[in-house]
A and B are shown apart, each in its own frame.
Chain A
Amino acid sequence: MLKAGTIISNADPRSTFTSLVGAPRLDAMFANRVTQIRGSGVVAKLHLALSGKPEFTGLSDDEMDNRLIVAPSMKYVERAFNHSKYGEYSESPVLDITIPSLHNSTLAPEGHHVMSVNVAFVPYELEGGWEEQKTTFAYKLISQLGQYSPNLKSLVVDHELLTPRDIEEQFHAVQGHWHHGELSIHQSFMMRPLHGAAQYDTPIERLFLCGAGSHPGGGLTGLPGRNAAKRVLDLGGAK
């Protein structure tokens, strides 16, 4: 039980309304709309601990600290996505790679590096379940990365793969959606996360939303938080 004059939640809206507030405390149609928020996670995160700096074919040393995207063509992206519709993962997914230790050397021991990869179109519900297939998938991803970074495999000290299911378990984002709800047009702007809670205040008096589920959505912009703070102030400040 939380007791405060004002509560500002950066939890996923579905967790906020369903698990924290509870449907019985909401009006029926609003509670129903919460259950209809579309947001089944489709992005996994692969962390690699590396004993040295990886090299990427065709990239100079200076270019390595950018976001490295593996998406050779629109057709490739579409094919990669297709599998997720049927509860499968793609053998050739879209990858979004960064090496954070190039920017912050304290993230790894001297000479070592960490790599973070967003793996797109990885379904929350995998046919046959994640338990059995997670390690295989991680190795397949490392192999795929090896196509672009020939020395990577020999540098891997350890790996961690967070599927949408792991993201849900560890961060309580419903269905492991990293944006707390799809950024589709019917869940954007004055409909994010849903009609009735799109201006950061909610049907529950003095309960506000400030997380990725609110406009303008996830990422590291801080904008939902800034907007929520402004709304709290507009409605009389924290009490």
Chain B
Amino acid sequence: MKISHEHFRQALQRTPFHDRITALSTTEEWMAWNTYKVARVVDKLPAEYFAVRSGCAVMDLTPMEKYRITGKGAREFLDRLLTRDISKLKPGRVTYVIWCSDEGKVIDDGTLFQLGEHDYRLCSQHHQLDWLLMSANGFDVQIETETHDVAALAVQGPTSYSVLTAAGINNLDQLKPFDFADLRCGNVPVTVSRTGYTGDLGYELWVRPTDALQLWDAIFGVQGRYDVHAMGLSALEMVRIEAGFIMPGFDFNTAEATVRDGYDRSPYEVGLDWVVNLDKGHFTGRKALLAEKAQPARRQLAKIVVDGNKPVGEAFIYDGKNGKQIGEIKCATWSPILKANLAIADIECINGRLPAKLWARVDYQRELKWRTAWAECHAQSKPFYDPEHRSATPPARF
């Protein structure tokens, strides 16, 4: 980990792509992400959103927390850390994972890359080094922070495959979802994974910080042949909700950051039961999760479509119009591609199920005057938006 001793002179660190993004930024809308300065919106939010859905968007992913986990006991360590059965994971593959506290509450989620036989990279939303080191007790494993040593870009959208190919990255055609490969972009070694947080076709590119600008320039060098947009976190928020992806620490409180009793959430409560395998052997939180599974679900982080077109924002959920308050919306967006109000809401269950009727009280403004509207909500079990081209291999050429 190489951080300049002068880093404290800047409130936020700059990523290796910072100069290029600054040059494109017309809004100067910056925000902090894991001690880095990143764009909320680079130019125009609608253009950045539609780049993901109908073209190609590029987002700086460098601030993502990255941990290198190596050693003969790395697999056993991960098996005990993670709720998911990773016995089928092999070099060149990525998998979505979560990990829990002893009490079976979600600490964070992330993606796990198997780089070699005893070599893994874990990417997470929040800083996890303390939990990882604490969990390493008794295992033959080494854990190092790689966050600042690996620069990363998300290249997402239906034309992302064509853009990257035109930029000089070959052999992407056989890369299936959750595959990754060590490739080259001209002289630059680049690891490309077919992963993303947008619910669209897309890739994540991992390079040495010193190679970052060369990679950026190669991708943006295809401008003219393809429409490529730099994208900020606001557009990402829209597309990730459309894809039904949840964000620990924002849509629900994470275990290690929760003070109040009952404010943290188990995987079952946030719809992540599909990454919990209670039969795989011991892992942290298993005993608590076994006990929880024997009980009817108390609450659910549900995907809901809210009727109407009033911007939902933060709102309470009720069991009927003017009924009893039973939940709250955690994140919401207007979906331009689906023409619908989408939200993810934390809702109390009745007898282990979501109530049949769900209503949101939507407070909104008209020329600075607050108004209230009632809107019926409809729970969905599938992602709101899941296009076929997302997982087609090889992807369509443009």
Q: Which residues of B contact A23 (CB under 8 A)?
A: 137-139
Q: For the complex, is B55 an interface residue (Cβ under 8 Å from A)?
A: no
Q: Which residues of B contact A30 (CB under 8 A)?
A: 102
**Residue ID in chain B nearest A196 by CB atoms:** B102
Name the interface residues of A16-41: CB closer than 8 Å to any CB of B. Answer: 18, 22-25, 27-32, 35
Stretch at the interface among B201-209, B282-290, B345-353: B282-290
Q: Which residues of B contact A35 (CB under 8 A)?
A: 137
Q: For the complex, is A109 an interface residue (Cβ under 8 Å from B)?
A: no
**Residue ID in chain B nearest A34 by CB atoms:** B137
User: Are the CB atoms of A28 and B76 closer together than 8 Å?
Assistant: no
- Total A-B residue pairs with C-beta atoms closer than 8 Å? 37
**Residue ID in chain A nearest B79 by CB atoms:** A24
| Complex Cα–Cα for A31 and B134 (A) | 9
User: Are the CB atoms of A31 and B287 closer together than 8 Å?
Assistant: no
User: Are the CB atoms of B282 and A28 closer together than 8 Å?
Assistant: no
User: Are the CB atoms of A27 and B284 closer together than 8 Å?
Assistant: yes
| Complex Cα–Cα for A206 and B178 (A) | 41
Q: Which residues of B contact A196 (CB under 8 A)?
A: 102
Q: Which residues of A contact B135 (CB under 8 A)?
A: 28
| Complex Cα–Cα for A18 and B284 (A) | 16
Contacts A22-B138, A24-B139, A203-B287; is A29 near B76 (CB within 8 Å)?
no
**Residue ID in chain A nearest B132 by CB atoms:** A28
Contacts A22-B138, A23-B138; is A28 near B284 (CB within 8 Å)?
yes
User: Are the CB atoms of A24 and B138 closer together than 8 Å?
Assistant: yes
**Residue ID in chain A nearest B287 by CB atoms:** A203
- Distance in angstroms from B299 CB to nearest chain A CB is 23
Count chain B residues whose beta carbon lies closer than 8 angstroms to a beta carbon of A.
17
**Residue ID in chain B nearest A205 by CB atoms:** B287
Name the interface residues of B121-150: CB closer than 8 Å to any CB of A. Answer: 131, 134-135, 137-139
User: Are the CB atoms of A28 and B287 closer together than 8 Å?
Assistant: no
Q: Which residues of B contact A24 (CB under 8 A)?
A: 76-77, 80, 138-139, 282
Name the interface residues of B278-297: CB closer than 8 Å to any CB of A. Answer: 282, 284-287
Name the interface residues of B98-138: CB closer than 8 Å to any CB of A. Answer: 101-102, 131, 134-135, 137-138
| Complex Cα–Cα for A31 and B80 (A) | 12
| Complex Cα–Cα for A196 and B138 (A) | 19
- Distance in angstroms from A31 CB to nearest chain B CB is 6
Interface string of B87-101 (1 = CB under 8 A from A): 000000000000001
User: Are the CB atoms of B76 and A27 closer together than 8 Å?
Assistant: no
Contacts A30-B102, A203-B287; is A25 near B137 (CB within 8 Å)?
no
Name A29's contact: one of B80, B102, B282, B287 (CB within 8 Å): B102
Name B81's contact: one of A18, A28, A203 (CB within 8 Å): A28
- Distance in angstroms from B264 CB to nearest chain A CB is 13
User: Are the CB atoms of A28 and B139 closer together than 8 Å?
Assistant: no
Q: Which residues of A contact B138 (CB under 8 A)?
A: 18, 22-24, 31
**Residue ID in chain A nearest B101 by CB atoms:** A29
Q: Which residues of B contact A25 (CB under 8 A)?
A: 282
- Distance in angstroms from A25 CB to nearest chain B CB is 6
**Residue ID in chain A nearest B288 by CB atoms:** A27
**Residue ID in chain A nearest B285 by CB atoms:** A27
Q: Which residues of A contact B134 (CB under 8 A)?
A: 28-29, 32
Q: Which residues of A contact B282 (CB under 8 A)?
A: 24-25
**Residue ID in chain A nearest B134 by CB atoms:** A32
Interface string of B55-91 (1 = CB under 8 A from A): 0000000000000000000001100110000000000
- Distance in angstroms from A154 CB to nearest chain B CB is 53
User: Are the CB atoms of A27 and B287 closer together than 8 Å?
Assistant: yes
- Distance in angstroms from A68 CB to nearest chain B CB is 44
- Distance in angstroms from B36 CB to nearest chain A CB is 28
Q: Which of A22, A24, A203 has the most CB of B within 10 A?
A: A24
| Complex Cα–Cα for A32 and B76 (A) | 17
Q: Which residues of A contact B131 (CB under 8 A)?
A: 28
Q: Which residues of B contact A18 (CB under 8 A)?
A: 138
Q: Which of B138, B282, B285, B286 has the most CB of A within 10 A?
A: B138
| Complex Cα–Cα for A28 and B128 (A) | 13
A-B contact pairs, 9 of them (CB 8 A): A22-B138, A23-B139, A25-B282, A27-B102, A27-B286, A28-B135, A29-B101, A31-B137, A35-B137
Residues in A lying within 8 Å of B, measured CB to CB: 18, 22-25, 27-32, 35, 196, 203
Residues in B lying within 8 Å of A, measured CB to CB: 76-77, 80-81, 101-102, 131, 134-135, 137-139, 282, 284-287
Given A23-B138, A24-B139, 12 more A-B residue pairs with CB atoms under 8 Å apart are A24-B76, A24-B77, A24-B80, A27-B284, A27-B287, A28-B135, A28-B284, A29-B101, A29-B102, A29-B134, A32-B134, A196-B102
User: Which 6 residue pairs are nearest across A and B when measured between Cβ atoms?
Assistant: A23-B138, A27-B102, A28-B135, A28-B284, A29-B102, A27-B284
